[in-house]
């Protein structure tokens, strides 16, 4: 019994997650430093053909645009308008994110349990990501209609791939000694999956989910254009782009809002990751 317990501890301690607080602080510091560097370069008096107030409006003009009416005579300013649009886009992205994660996990589970399925279908999964989504989006809208369903399908398409590829490796990342132990107890495939494969794969899963979180926002914004969704960020970007000559700051404000939405979604997944993996031992840095 003692050796079995030791083997089990060794199996789950073999690939611990690194969650040091110092690493998080360094990441925040690096992000802030890069952001400040971008602002300095943006506002630097560079005499380049594209560096003018139309192509690169001043940062303070973009910030002031958030307080302006989103259109002439409107009772809401740009910040309120973008917040509502971002919330609508996030709901679409969240549905596609959840469906894409479930689809990716299901495909990866099937592939790790069947070498035949893996050899037959993984090349097609990889090939599916070589087709530009901007070309597929109109076809999906034509097939399913100009509605939220098309946007969710586009978002799901962009999010399932990272989860599938990461989990194929993650579900095989367990310690072989733990597998031998579970087989010696005649554990079923379901028991091995829930008690060994899935716990060992969580670091891989959350890495993929963080990638998928930002991809889902991009997919939702792209899908809202041909999808005819008037309430999301995609349509807002198209609308403000039509008036770029007279008001470039509003388009840049919508781009900032889309970036903030993607970062926020990423941080939400990161927070869940820290919560889910908080009990795991930390690996030594180096």
Instruction: Report how far residue 39's alpha carbon sits from residue 213's, in angstroms, rounded to the nearest whole number.
Output: 26
CATH number of 77-276: 1.10.3720.10
pLDDT for the residue numbered 220: 93
Facing residues of 77 across strands? Answer: 69
Q: Please give the residue that has the higher pLDDT: either 93 or 60.
A: 93
With cut-offs at 50, 70 and 90, classify the pLDDT of residue 48. Answer: low
Average pLDDT, the chain: 84
pLDDT for the residue numbered 49: 63
Q: What is the largest CA-CA distance in the chain?
A: 76
Nearest alpha carbon to residue 207 among 17, 26, 11: 17
Whether the per-residue pLDDT at 164 is higher than 70: the answer is: yes
Whether the per-residue pLDDT at 199 is higher than 50: the answer is: yes
Mean pLDDT (whole number) for 249-259: 92
Residue whose pair of structure tokens reads 């995609």 in the numeric block: 234
For the chain, the first-to-last Cα distance in angstroms comes to: 34
Q: What φ, ψ does residue 143 adopt, rounded to 5°?
A: -75, -40
Q: Percentage of the chain with pLDDT > 70? A: 86
Burial readout 49-75 (b: 16 or more C-beta within 10 A, e: otherwise): eeeeeeebbeeeebeebbebebeeeee
With cut-offs at 50, 70 and 90, classify the pLDDT of residue 53. Answer: low
Whether the per-residue pLDDT at 75 is higher than 70: the answer is: yes
pLDDT for the residue numbered 21: 54
Task: Show the tokens assigned to 277.
Answer: 């993996």
pTM metric for this prediction = 0.81
Mean pLDDT (whole number) for 99-109: 96
The alpha-helical segments, DSSP class H, found in 19-132 are 21-43, 59-65, 78-113, 115-128
Lowest-confidence pick of 30-34, 70-74, 179-183, 197-201 = 70-74
With cut-offs at 50, 70 and 90, classify the pLDDT of residue 1. Answer: very low
pLDDT for the residue numbered 47: 57
Whether the per-residue pLDDT at 211 is higher than 50: the answer is: yes
């Amino acid at each position: 019994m003692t050796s079995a317990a030791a083997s089990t501890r060794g199996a789950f301690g073999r690939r611990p997650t690194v969650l040091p607080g110092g690493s998080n602080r360094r990441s925040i510091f690096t992000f802030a430093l890069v952001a400040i560097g971008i602002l300095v370069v943006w506002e630097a008096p560079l005499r380049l053909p594209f560096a003018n107030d139309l192509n690169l409006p001043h940062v303070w003009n973009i910030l002031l645009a958030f307080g302006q009416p989103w259109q002439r005579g409107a009772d809401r300013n740009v910040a309120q308008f973008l917040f509502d649009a971002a919330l609508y886009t996030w709901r679409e992205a969240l549905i596609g994110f959840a469906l894409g994660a479930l689809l990716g996990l299901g495909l990866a589970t099937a592939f790790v349990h069947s070498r035949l399925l893996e050899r037959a279908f993984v090349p097609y999964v990889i090939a599916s990501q070589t087709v530009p989504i901007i070309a597929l989006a109109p076809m999906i809208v034509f097939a399913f209609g100009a509605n939220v369903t098309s946007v969710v399908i586009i978002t799901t398409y962009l999010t399932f791939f990272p989860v599938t590829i990461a989990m194929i490796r993650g579900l095989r990342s367990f310690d072989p000694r733990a597998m031998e132990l579970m087989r010696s107890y005649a554990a079923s495939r379901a028991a091995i999956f829930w008690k060994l494969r899935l716990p060992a794969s969580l670091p891989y899963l959350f890495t993929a989910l963080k990638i998928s979180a930002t991809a889902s926002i991009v997919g939702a914004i792209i899908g809202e254009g041909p999808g005819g969704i008037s309430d999301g960020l995609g349509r807002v970007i198209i609308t403000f782009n039509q008036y770029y000559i007279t008001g470039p700051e509003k388009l840049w404000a919508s781009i900032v809002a889309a970036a903030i939405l993607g970062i926020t979604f990423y941080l939400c997944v990161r927070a869940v990751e820290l919560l889910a993996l908080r009990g795991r031992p930390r690996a030594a840095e180096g």
